[in-house]
Structure 1
Amino acid sequence: MGVHILSTGSSVPNFSVENQQFEDIIETSDHWISTRTGIKKRHLATSSISLTKLAAEAATKALNQANINPEDLDLIILATSTPDDLFGSASQLQAEIGATKSTAFDITAACSGFIIALVTASQFIKSGSYNTILVVGADTMSRWIDWSDRTTCILFGDGAGAVVVGKSSVNSILGFKLCTDGRLNSHLQLMNSPLTSQKFGSTAVPKGKYDYIKMNGKEVYKFAVFQVPAVIKTCLNDLNLSIDEVDWFILHQANTRILEAIANRLSIPFSKMITNLENYGNTSAASIPLALDEAIKDNKIQPGQIVVLSGFGAGLTWGAIVLRWH
């Protein structure tokens, strides 16, 4: 049983913020941000735009591209760390697009979320459990940012990307590898930090409240630059493929310096890296499917080409998927 990526779609909010606009609220400049991150602007979801709405727009585009009716979906997997509902938003997405016959659930793995969700979908198809699956990566990280923290507030944007995958005799997903190291969790986290509690006798029961994103940039950089090339090489070695046989690399869009360092470690020209950081910033689980959708629309990726997807982020988690595009 093969797994075929039938279509892609993406969505970002209309409202965008350019680097110069940060100069009025924090000590920074367009030059400082762009030279250190590669980011020029990012799109932010206003109060009228929910995570579910962004995800639904990307999903609808992917479904229309594949000429698939939402009622024909067997499963929806939503990769997000910023759901509208703490219990999960996949069911809301199911209702929003009218996929009344599908099962739906969330996967929370931050910037690695889409990779893990796509692997999960592929396993359901290979086992014969489901035939047609919608995978969406979507995040509204702007709602969890401390806008006075210049180390994080300049990095993140909001968006959604989607793919529809189905069973086929032609297999698109050649191989994958997923990794986790919870010992490094403190380097990138968004913690539950209760400030108040209800007392029952002498026992305090905390009231849930999440803090802002906290990141140790230096440690995340070292982690990504070391682990991502290693997991990519492992995937390719398992498939008896060389780095030179890969036509395109689509990595999590975190920071241009990270992507450049990974390209150097892999000994590949940076021109093989598909990037859109300049226009969107770090959109977490949305970054890989958003970049993939743009690359398909721009006709960069051609049938038969080998494409490597790789995500890395909070957890700390990381992983890679090797595709042959059909």
Structure 2
Amino acid sequence: MARAAVIDAIGHYLPEGRETNDELALRMDTSDEWIRTRTGIRARARAGDDEPTSLLGARAGRAALAGATVPDVDLVIVATTTPDMKCPATAPVVASELGLAGAGSFDMNSACTGFLAGLGVASGLISRGDARAVLLVGAEKYSSIIYPNDRGTAPIFGDGAAAMVLRAGDPDELGAVGRVHLGSDGNLWSLAHVRSGGSAFPRAAEEDPHDPYLRMDGRATYRHAVARMTETCRAALADRSMTVDDVDLLVAHQANVRILNEVARELGLDAEKSLVDLTDIGNTAAASIPMALSRAHANGVLAGKERMLLTAFGAGASWGATVLQWPAGLSQETSRNSGDDN
């Protein structure tokens, strides 16, 4: 009998700290109007010094597990660009914090595409019977890799985590995960990168002070993000013999509002069918898709049965897309947390 990974529960965690556009304007040449008109962001979530990525991920994981129907999970995957340390992985720390020591665990770093990459891996493992249930976490503390005065990155990225429990089920069930289309182009690695600290560019005493932090070519990233997400969305729809007319909701990586609007326009989707969830928290990278889903679910936006097109573009460059139908009857209360002001 065919098996599929099915969405069983979802939850998120946002730190209480916020940095507003006006606060950013106190330390760099920018303004609230400049940021809002270009990104759609008014504030970004900021974790405290005592809130590493593992803590954000564990709190989101706990929220998701509280609503799960499965008794436990046998694998924890953490999609992140900002691990607690270069070594070891952050996933074992998250698993232990959740009382899941002994479960398999590993990190995935595909930048902002990380959650979709993790979804594809988790789905494959469940479909093969190698896992019965998986906790998939997207967790980011991007403030740890942002150069404080970089006008191209500091206004964009926020901190936070969201998690999804996937269980074995039937391919025809609501919430069943089908094929996740993934792609990459390593020739575009310089679009967004942290130069120093790896084996190719070790830390040096005379390095540029910006080298340990994220650099991003905003204009080029915009162009490639729109093209690749549009392209892979069309492939995902064709794979399911669907057209844009069959899509109820586009849930794209929450990069900035201009990219979200342009992808919807290129696909021929009405703007109101594109979920926007970055105004008060910023771009939470690998956490942004499950964060948008969890917050929409908690706020009653998702009733169940919505046909969704999920897509992302991230550093690498990497990209992906998949189609699914949102399950009905998921617990709503466990999607909320004290750091979420919506």
Which TM-score bucket, shorter chain as reference? Answer: over 0.9
Aligned to 2:280: 279
Aligned to 2:187: 183
Matched, 1:18 2:26: no
For residues 195 and 168 of structure 1, what CA distance do their matches in structure 2 show? 47
Equivalences for 1:163-174 in 2 at 5 Å? 163-169=164-170, 170-171=172-173, 172-174=176-178
For residues 159 and 142 of structure 1, what CA distance do their matches in structure 2 show? 10
Question: The residue matched to 2:95 in structure 1 has which SS?
Answer: helix
Matched, 1:293 2:301: no
Is the CA contact (8 Å cut-off) linking 2:126 and 2:168 kept in structure 1? yes
For residues 64 and 39 of structure 2, what CA distance do their matches in structure 1 show? 30
Residue 50 of structure 1 deviates from its aligned partner by 1.2
Aligned to 2:43: 41
Equivalences for 1:42-81 in 2 at 5 Å? 42-69=44-71, 72-81=72-81
Structure 2: state its 5+ residue gaps: 328-342
For residues 216 and 159 of structure 1, what CA distance do their matches in structure 2 show? 23
For residues 312 and 281 of structure 1, what CA distance do their matches in structure 2 show? 16
Is the CA contact (8 Å cut-off) linking 2:250 and 2:264 kept in structure 1? no
TM-score where L is the length of structure 2: 0.89
- Alignment deviations for residues 33-52 of structure 1 (CA, whole Å, 9 cap, x no partner): 00110000011111111111
Is the CA contact (8 Å cut-off) linking 2:135 and 2:166 kept in structure 1? yes
Is the CA contact (8 Å cut-off) linking 2:120 and 2:179 kept in structure 1? no
Aligned to 1:238: 239
Q: Which runs of 4+ in 1 moved over 6 A?
A: none
- Alignment deviations for residues 252-297 of structure 1 (CA, whole Å, 9 cap, x no partner): 1111111111111011111111111101111110111100101111
Aligned to 1:202: none
Residue 85 of structure 1 deviates from its aligned partner by 1.9
Question: The residue matched to 2:67 in structure 1 has which SS?
Answer: helix
Equivalences for 1:57-206 in 2 at 5 Å? 57-69=59-71, 72-87=72-87, 88-169=89-170, 170-171=172-173, 172-192=176-196, 193-196=201-204
Whichever residue aligns with residue 304 of structure 1, its letter is: K
Matched, 1:267 2:271: no
For residues 243 and 279 of structure 1, what CA distance do their matches in structure 2 show? 29
Matched, 1:318 2:300: no
Aligned to 2:258: 257
Question: The residue matched to 1:46 in structure 2 has which SS?
Answer: coil
For residues 242 and 107 of structure 2, what CA distance do their matches in structure 1 show? 33
Question: The residue matched to 1:278 in structure 2 has which SS?
Answer: coil
Residue 143 of structure 1 deviates from its aligned partner by 0.8
Residue 324 of structure 1 deviates from its aligned partner by 1.5
Whichever residue aligns with residue 63 of structure 1, its letter is: L
For residues 145 and 101 of structure 2, what CA distance do their matches in structure 1 show? 31
Whichever residue aligns with residue 25 of structure 2, its letter is: E
Aligned to 2:9: 7
For residues 211 and 252 of structure 2, what CA distance do their matches in structure 1 show? 28
Compared with structure 1, are the counterparts of its residues 28 and 99 closer, same or farther at alpha carbon in structure 2 (3 Å cutoff)? same
- Alignment deviations for residues 16-60 of structure 1 (CA, whole Å, 9 cap, x no partner): 111000111001110000011000001111111111110000000
Residue 195 of structure 1 deviates from its aligned partner by 4.2
- Alignment deviations for residues 199-250 of structure 1 (CA, whole Å, 9 cap, x no partner): xxxxxxx9xx961101111100000111111100111011101111011111
Whichever residue aligns with residue 122 of structure 1, its letter is: S
Query: Which has the higher mean CA deviation after the structures are superposed, 272-281 or 302-311?
Result: 302-311
Matched, 1:212 2:213: yes
Is the CA contact (8 Å cut-off) linking 2:254 and 2:278 kept in structure 1? yes
For residues 32 and 77 of structure 1, what CA distance do their matches in structure 2 show? 37
Query: Which has the higher mean CA deviation after the structures are superposed, 308-317 or 291-300?
Result: 291-300
For residues 179 and 70 of structure 2, what CA distance do their matches in structure 1 show? 26
Structure 1: state its 5+ residue gaps: 198-205
- Alignment deviations for residues 141-189 of structure 1 (CA, whole Å, 9 cap, x no partner): 1111111111111111100010000001244113320000011111111
Determine what percentage of the aligned residue pairs are the same residue.
35
Matched, 1:27 2:35: no
Is the CA contact (8 Å cut-off) linking 1:249 and 1:272 kept in structure 2? yes
For residues 40 and 121 of structure 1, what CA distance do their matches in structure 2 show? 34
For residues 100 and 147 of structure 1, what CA distance do their matches in structure 2 show? 36
Residue 67 of structure 1 deviates from its aligned partner by 4.6
For residues 210 and 57 of structure 1, what CA distance do their matches in structure 2 show? 31
Residue 323 of structure 1 deviates from its aligned partner by 0.6
Query: Which has the higher mean CA deviation after the structures are superposed, 306-315 or 184-193?
Result: 184-193
